[in-house]
Amino acid sequence: MKTAAIIGGGVIGGGWAARFLLNGWNVRVFDPDPEAERKIGEVLDNARRSLPGLSDVPLPAEGALTFHVEMADAVQGADWIQESVPERLDLKLKVYKGLQEACDPGAVIGSSTSGFKPSELQEGALRPEQIVVTHPFNPVYLLPLIEVVPTEANSAEFVSHAQDLLKSVGFFPLHVKKEIDAHIADRFLEAVWREALWLVKDGIATTEEIDEAIRMGFGIRWAQMGLFETYRVAGGEAGMKHFMAQFGPALEWPWTKLMDVPEFTDELVDLIAGQSDAQSGMHSIRELERIRDNNLVGMMRALKAQNWGAGAVLNAHDAALKPGALPTLDQADLSQPILTLARAVPLDWTDYNGHMTESKYLEAFANSTDRFMEIIGCDADYIASGGSYFTAETHIRHIDETHAGAKIEVRTQMLLGAGKKLHLFHSMYEGEKLLATGESFLLHVSLETRRPSAPSAEIEAALARVAEGQSGLPYPDGAGNAIRKPA
């Protein structure tokens, strides 16, 4: 098991801790703030509720979290050291001096800095080749982007190693090949921020109106296509050249004030703070964080279904985690119900009552049926050859509540598997607590005729193995039930 040391446990450091911890790393934290443990604990509460639900397979077992009084104790033997101290260059250089005296020379030292160049961070370091900018975005435990900014002091092998470690915990490392103040993404944010300050100062728009303009329009487009791809589409069939020809002259118009910064007066600060309070003051910061996380998870899961943008990163991380997550026919203990689903409940699977909505129980049990089909050989290749199972009837019993972030497992008992017929009984658990059962009756069909047909000999043999193995299991409680008419 790998170990990460987190130097500085604020919002960003806490997000790094959560990302590593929930992906199976041990995490050591050094922060002299007496409130650090409480603050990181609150970040972890939100991360445990939201991050696992981005994956459709189980994350690794959570690592161990420890807090250390001495920085040397935290960094000794760590594979990754993430510095997230305040944006003061003198402080960062002091931190690097202390931790490099104690850490493994082969460890990656990443900085969360949003502004300093890596050459500035490496100045006077004991081992400059060990230090690299790894700039994240809040919330670190959900958003995949990490700007990786090296210098010539960092070898290509070192940069590749750092990127591989970041990918292993679900990040998307963007290699910034030429260092510049504020890297790439924050330079865009700074441009938008400056223009927004002018719009508020000049009385053109309030903070709420500016936020509405972003989140109701181009912000949604940017979330899945970025800037240039969005404009390529805007150019129509003629493409990017047409767009540039049509809108290029506008760059000469005196619209924006990007090179002119409004004076940062107390009056401007009070104006913006007052408008922000009116806009969002009815929510606490913790409530806003949860609202943000709910929306991010829903959007990223939608992108996941399209295998696009941040969703493609999530799918790649799932693919890396999937091998070994569920047993094959040869690996399963056939004397017991077979594990066919293991995952966390995503935020977008819950309803207005705060627990898992009815349709998602059906989705979970349908996924378990699909996995059982794969186990017996009715996989994508078999279906492409013209055979499959169709569900004819389903019955679900809701026994206990299931909440967002809950780690659930479904275990499947085959009640009948002979000829064209397949009768499955799924039981959903959180730990030892039974949450629900789902009973499904399926028929094997020919996809050419769309009529019931006999399965292949290989599938019949697999069904016979499961039937023999599970022959000693009692008939499950609730199997064969229907909704009874009231007396």
Final residue before a domain boundary, out of 282, 299, 320:
282
Q: State mean pLDDT over 341-354.
A: 92
Question: Is residue 19 located within the same domain as residue 61?
Answer: yes
Instruction: Kindly state whether residue 215 falls inside one of the protein's structural domains.
Output: yes
Question: Is residue 252 located within the same domain as residue 386?
Answer: no
- CA 202 to CA 211: how far, in whole Å? 17
Buried b / exposed e across 244-278, counting CB within 10 Å, b at 16+? eeeeeeeeeeeeeeeeeeeeeeeeeeebbeebeee
Residue 250 pLDDT: 65
* pLDDT digits 0-9 by tens, 172-190: 999 999 999 999 999 989 8
Residues 317, 311 contacting (CB under 8 angstroms): no
146 marked ligand binding residue: no
Instruction: Kindly state whether residue 359 falls inside one of the protein's structural domains.
Output: yes
Question: Is residue 91 located within the same domain as residue 211?
Answer: no
11 marked ligand binding residue: yes
Question: Is residue 81 located within the same domain as residue 161?
Answer: yes
248 marked ligand binding residue: no
Residue 253 pLDDT: 65
- CA nearest neighbour of 111 among 126, 92, 98: 92
What's the CATH number where 465 sits?
Answer: 3.10.129.10
12 marked ligand binding residue: yes
Instruction: Kindly state whether residue 328 falls inside one of the protein's structural domains.
Output: no
Q: Which domain holds residue 237?
A: 185-282
Instruction: Kindly state whether residue 332 falls inside one of the protein's structural domains.
Output: no
Question: Is residue 63 located within the same domain as residue 159?
Answer: yes
Instruction: Kindly state whether residue 25 falls inside one of the protein's structural domains.
Output: yes
Question: Is residue 354 located within the same domain as residue 440?
Answer: yes
Question: Is residue 19 located within the same domain as residue 113?
Answer: yes
Strand partners, 291: none
- CA 172 to CA 315: how far, in whole Å? 12
Asked if pLDDT for residue 439 goes beyond 80, the answer is: yes
8 marked ligand binding residue: yes
396 marked ligand binding residue: no
* Residue with more model confidence, 273 or 259: 273
Question: Is residue 278 located within the same domain as residue 210?
Answer: yes
pTM of the full predicted structure? 0.87
Instruction: Kindly state whether residue 482 falls inside one of the protein's structural domains.
Output: no
Question: Is residue 171 located within the same domain as residue 24?
Answer: yes
Instruction: Kindly state whether residue 124 falls inside one of the protein's structural domains.
Output: yes
Q: Cα 220 to the chain's mean position, in Å?
A: 18
Number of domains within the chain: 3
Neighbours of 196 (CB within 10 A): 18
Look at 27-41, 247-261, 310-324 and tell me which has the smallest mean pLDDT: 247-261
Question: Is residue 121 located within the same domain as residue 14?
Answer: yes
Final residue before a domain boundary, out of 175, 204, 228:
175
Asked if pLDDT for residue 270 goes beyond 80, the answer is: yes
pLDDT band at 268 (very low <50, low <70, confident <90, very high): confident
